[in-house]
Amino acid sequence: MVKVKEDDAKKRAKTCSVCGKPSEKIICDNCEAKIRGEALERKIKDEKEGRTDTGRR
């Protein structure tokens, strides 16, 4: 019974966690690039807006 669980884990480890396509990595290169791009866009947007909680009250 333990052998079956190990085989299932190996099968799951060979697919991307985001898109489900076959990959040796947990997150494939395409998904990793997309996630990094989205994070960078968010960072730039947040920096451009500036802090909203500063200033006089």
pLDDT values of the chain reduced to their tens digit, one per residue, 57 residues = 556 666 666 655 689 999 999 999 999 999 999 999 999 999 999 888 887 666 565
CB atoms within 10 A of CB 30: 13
| Residue 49, pLDDT score | 85
Residue 31's closest CA among 42, 43, 41, 16?
16
pLDDT at 37: 97
pLDDT score recorded for residue 26: 96
Pull the structure tokens for residue 42.
Answer: 């968010």
